[in-house]
Amino acid sequence: MKPDAPLIDLGPGWSRSGAVTQLGTAPPQAPEVGAPGRPRSTQRRVLMWFGGGAGAILVIGVIILLAMAMTGNGPLVNRPSGPSDYAPPLAKACPPPSADAQNLPPAPAPPPGPRTVDPDAGISYATQGDPWVPWDTVWDAGDLHVRYGVGQHFVTEVYSGGRYHASILSGSVPTAENDALSLDLKCTGHQVLADVRASYYPQPNQIEQMRDEVTTLGGRPAWVAKFRLHFHAAGLKATSELVGIALIDVGRPNAAILYISIPSTHSQFDNLVDKELNSLRPA
């Protein structure tokens, strides 16, 4: 820089001091930035935090609802009430309860003599001698699909409809929902009786009722029916049959069934109905 360089007129309000330019007359002081603006800026930041948090919560909630709906567990999913919609037919027709078979005194000792044991049904009963032979097949006709797979029988006659039997058979049927251990014995028994009558006898038939009661068999709650069915079928000599049915609560979701049938052509075995019922014990 040259010291003798001519000075430039900066105009009014400006002066020189050496080589440094400075204000001659101070311009109006700018308002201090910061102090008045802090509260408003802080409020904005707080609102932004709240808004962001609320948005995040909303997004998470939507994701959770979508996940629940996709898995079928959401509160907006209208679906059937689970197990009861898949209950056995007898559990729907005859809701519980009966006496609790889990808290009964020990069963009395079985009568002497050979026994037929049905471990699946949970019962045992007296075994008969000749002409009775072990049952070697399974009957499961009817809407209830009771499986009569253990017992004794003999063929009383053969006719155009097939072989006709005298029988002492046992089985079981689901009567309770899930793991419930109680059932309405009388209602369930009537359903079983109707199923037997419709599935194993000539139609139409007439019933002559002799016994229909809730009682105990072998120390267990039971429903017992004894009746005679009257019928006619082409070529069949038997025109009636004495029948005993027992439904026994053995403390399981499945009830045990004992079914005794004696055709009129072999009435000498009629007394076996009561004998077999009285011989029944839990196994």
Domain boundaries defined on the chain: 36-79, 89-282
**What pLDDT was estimated at residue 118?**
98
Q: Is the pTM above the cut of 0.95?
A: no
pLDDT at 17 over 50: no
Residue 251: pLDDT band with limits 50, 70, 90? confident
Q: What is the mean pLDDT of residues 14-22?
A: 39
What is the C-alpha separation between 220 and 181, in angstroms, rounded? 13
204: preceding bond cis by omega (within 30 degrees): yes
218-250 tens-digit pLDDT: 999 999 999 999 999 999 999 999 999 999 999
28-78 tens-digit pLDDT: 555 554 445 555 566 666 556 666 666 667 767 767 777 666 665 555 544
DSSP state of 105: P
State percent of the chain over pLDDT 70.
63
Query: 190 vs 90, 240, 246, CA distance in Å?
Result: 10, 20, 10
Residue 18: pLDDT band with limits 50, 70, 90? very low
What is the C-alpha separation between 174 and 178, in angstroms, rounded? 10
**What pLDDT was estimated at residue 253?**
82
Q: Which has more confidence, 72 or 201?
A: 201
Superfamily per CATH, domain 89-282: Mog1/PsbP, alpha/beta/alpha sandwich (3.40.1000.10)
**What pLDDT was estimated at residue 159?**
96
Is residue 239 a contact partner of residue 263, using CB atoms and an 8 Å limit? no
State percent of the chain over pLDDT 90.
53
